[in-house]
Amino acid sequence: MHHTPAATASVAAFLMRIAVISDIHSNLHALEAVLTDIEAEAADEIWCLGDVVGYGPRPNECADIVRERAAVVLVGNHDLAAIGKLPTSDFGPLAAESAHWTAGALGEEQATWLRTLEPSATREGLELYHGSARDPVWEYVLSEDVALENLEVTTAPIVLVGHSHVALALSWDGETLDGGLAHGGTEVDTSGARWLINPGSVGQPRDSDARAGWVLIDTDAGRAAFRRVPYPIDQTQAEMRAAGLPEDLATRLARGV
């Protein structure tokens, strides 16, 4: 037996450790903290489930970094609003105000890039959606019923969703739906069942933990590890106030809601 160059290449191309991020929302300090944590975990690739911009003060820097660093990037509802592909009449008043601010602040190069993105993607063994499989742009997966309905219309062993800003790990073995909220430090065995996983939000967490969230999926070991990373929230808040973004969007960051 001898090792051919082709065999070596196929082994090298097999993904093992995927860092999944979502809902960055123009929060540069949160994104930088998460990228430092991802580097420490030696992930093979970074995948982003969308909403790179909206709400926060640094849309162009976040877009440039995600474009350069992530191998897969989905588009989210806030990204679509910022490039005029989704009407802000569907948004709440604060989200609409920040969407208009973002549309004005977004550079042409960043807007052009966002226009190329789709709200869903498929990779071997994984399906990726910003919102859900049924509605990749708008549906929130926040209940067991909605999670199950979305597992029923998908087939991949692991379904990744973002959009709700709440970290989730739900398993389905064909009979029982198990799991729920995935706090920082949660690790789950992804073998032996199908999983619906939300990494939580980098830039605007809403599960009462203000730290930036992401998840490391190890497809070889069959494990998912939920991470939370502290970042200088006060710096992002100061930038939001300087930009004239709504005060409520700044204060909520410190509460993780």
CB of 203 to Zn ion, least distance (A): 8
- Please provide the distance, in angstroms rounded to a whole number, between the alpha carbons at the two ends of the chain: 58
With H, G, I as helix, E, B as strand and everything else as coil, classify residue 248. Answer: helix
Give the nearest residue (CB) to Zn ion.
Answer: 51
Q: Which are the contacts of 224, defined by CB distance < 8 A and separation ≥ 6? A: 158, 169, 187, 188, 190, 195, 197, 215, 216, 217, 218
Footprint of Zn ion on 141-200 (CB under 5 A) = none
Cα dihedral sign, 152-162-227-121? positive
CB of 12 to Zn ion, least distance (A): 34
- Sheet with 194-198: list strands edge to edge: 120-123, 126-129, 158-161, 194-198, 168-172, 177-181
Alpha carbon distance 93, 232 (integer Å): 27
Alpha carbon distance 116, 147 (integer Å): 28
The residue among 142 and 177 lying less far from Zn ion, judged by its C-beta, is 142
The residue among 51 and 239 lying less far from Zn ion, judged by its C-beta, is 51
The residue among 139 and 218 lying less far from Zn ion, judged by its C-beta, is 139
CB of 133 to Zn ion, least distance (A): 17
The residue among 80 and 126 lying less far from Zn ion, judged by its C-beta, is 80
Number of residues that bind Zn ion (CB under 5 A): 2
The residue among 193 and 215 lying less far from Zn ion, judged by its C-beta, is 215
Cα dihedral sign, 51-53-57-58? positive
CB of 205 to Zn ion, least distance (A): 11
Alpha carbon distance 182, 78 (integer Å): 24
Write the DSSP symbol of residue 88: G
Q: Which are the contacts of 31, defined by CB distance < 8 A and separation ≥ 6? A: 21, 24, 62, 65, 66, 202, 203, 212
Q: Does residue 207 interact with Zn ion by CB under 5 A?
A: no
Footprint of Zn ion on 14-73 (CB under 5 A) = 23, 51
CB of 164 to Zn ion, least distance (A): 8
Interstrand relation of 17-21 and 45-48 (parallel, antiparallel or unpaired): parallel
Footprint of Zn ion on 97-116 (CB under 5 A) = none
CB of 40 to Zn ion, least distance (A): 25
The residue among 22 and 237 lying less far from Zn ion, judged by its C-beta, is 22
The residue among 23 and 207 lying less far from Zn ion, judged by its C-beta, is 23
CB of 156 to Zn ion, least distance (A): 22
Chain residues in the site for Zn ion (CB under 5 A) = 23, 51
